[in-house]
Amino acid sequence: MDRSDAVRRARMWWSAISDTSYVPMSSRDAKEALADLLVNLADALDAEQFDPTVGAEVGSALVRMRLTNPVVVARSAEVLAEIPRLSESGTAYFRSKYAALMGSFGQGYASALQAKTVSEQGSTDARFRVVFDNAAVAIAIGDLHGGLVDVNPAMAEMLGRDAADLRGMSAFDLGHPDDYDLARRRILDELIAVGSGTVRLEARFRRSDGTYGWAMFAITLVAGDGEVDSYLLGVGEDVTERRELQAALYRQSRHDPLTGLPNRLLLHENIADAIDIAGPDDRIGLCFLDLDGFKYVNDQFGHATGDRLLAAVANRLQEQGMADGYIVARLGGDEFVAVMFAPIDIDAVTAAATRLLASIQDPFEVDGHKLSISASIGVVAQPVFGADADAILETADAALYRAKADGGAGFFVHEPTPS
C-alpha cells in the first residue's frame, strides 16, 4: 500500500470512528496516525516473515489515541476489510494471514482497553463489559491459580461449553495433558513470580466433545491495588485452521505428489538428523534404486501409464520398507532411495536390497497391461558421524552407476576405502 492510498483510506477510517470518542489531537494528526497504522498492517501481510502481533499493536494504538468506544472495533473492521484487495494475492494461506492479523487486532484492542480501564478505575467498567461480551476474540479472567472467574461468549463458543459451566473450572483442566507443564511453568515463572507482564502461549484446548483444537493466548497479570485482587487476563483466538494449513503445506513441501513418498528434501533432512545424533561407530545404510528400461514404458504406453506404474512400484517399495523398518523416498523420475539408520551394517543393507528387488519382481497390472520391470541398486553402509548428507547420497549414486554398468537387474555394493 503506497502512502497516498493509505492517507485516502485513513480519511475514510477517521470519518467512521471520529464521532465515537474524544481524541486529544487534531483531525490532521489523527489521520496521519491512522495512515501509519494502515501501512503497518499492509506491510505485515506482504512480509516474508509473517508477524500477527502487528495487528495487536494497531489495536493498542487505537486505545492510546483514546478511541475507546466499543463500536470502534466494528467500524474499523469495515475499513480494514479492504486491505487484502491492495496486497499480494488471494491464496488460502494469504487469507489465513489476514484472519490472524485481524484476530490479533481485536486481541490487542481488548487487552489494551482492559489495561487502561483497570489502571484508571481499578475495576471493570461498563465499556469494557460491552467489549468483553461482544468481542470476536476469546477473553477469560482467572485467579492466580488458574481458576476461571469469568469468560466471554466467544471463549465459551470456542470451547463448546456454556459460560456458566466454565466459571470456577481450572483453565489447566481445559488443555491437553502434554501442554500442562509448559503452560503452568510459564505462568508461574514469567508472570506470578515476577508480579507483572504478559506471556504468549500457543497450546491445545479440549472441546466439550473431547476433540482438541489450538489456541493462541496472550495472558497478562493485572496487579491488584489492595481493594481488588490481582488476576490473570487471557485474550486469544482459535488458530486450529492455521495450524492445519501449516501442517498441510509442510507435508506438501516434503512429499512426492505422485507417490506420496518422502521427497528429496525430507530424505536430506532425515539423513542430516541422523548425522547430528550419530555416535563415532554408527553407520547409515542406503539403497539407491533406479528402474531399468523405464523410458521404454513411457514411449510404448504413454506417460500416464508410466506414472501409474511408478505409483505401483512406490507402493510395493514402501510396503517392503515398512515391513523392514526403514524409509523409502522418491528423488524424482524413476529413482528411489531406501535409507536405514543405525545400528546397521553392510550385510543388513545388502539383504534389504535383495528384498527390494524381490518386491517388484512380479508383474504389475496397469491400465490393462501386464508390465514387468527390474531395477538396479547402489548399496552403501557409510560411517555417519561427522559426515555430509550430500556426500553420502553421491556415494550411493556412484554405486548405482556401477550397478547399471554391470547390466542392471541387480545391485552393486560400495566397499568403503580403508582409513
Catalytic annotation, residues:
334
In the chain the first and final C-alpha atoms are separated, in Å, by: 62
- Cell 497516498 found at: 4
For 350, the grid coordinates are 545388502
Distance CA 362, CA 135 (A): 63
The secondary structure of 86-101, three-state, reads HCCCCCHHHHHHHHHH
Contact between 167 and 148 under an 8 Å Cβ cutoff? The reply is yes
Residue-wise burial string across 345-372, b where 16 or more C-beta atoms lie within 10 A, e elsewhere: ebebbbebbeebbebbeeebebeeeebe
Question: What residues pair up with 138 in beta bridges, in sequence order?
Answer: 236
Q: Give the pairing of strands 212-222 and 364-366.
A: unpaired
The residues, any chain, with a CB within 8 Å of residue 316's CB and separated by 6 or more, are 359, 360
Cα 380 to chain centroid, rounded: 35
Q: Where are the alpha helices (DSSP H) in 135-263?
A: 153-159, 163-166, 180-187, 240-254
Residue type for position 125: D
Coil, strand or helix: which one is 152? coil
Contact between 339 and 271 under an 8 Å Cβ cutoff? The reply is yes
Contact between 148 and 142 under an 8 Å Cβ cutoff? The reply is yes
List the one residue out of 114, 26, 39, 36 whose CA is nearest residue 70. Answer: 114
Coil, strand or helix: which one is 24? coil
Contact between 67 and 23 under an 8 Å Cβ cutoff? The reply is yes
List the one residue out of 247, 250, 195 whose CA is nearest residue 220. Answer: 195
Long-range (24+ apart) CB contacts under 8 A made by 114-117 are 114/222, 114/233, 115/220, 115/222, 116/63, 116/68
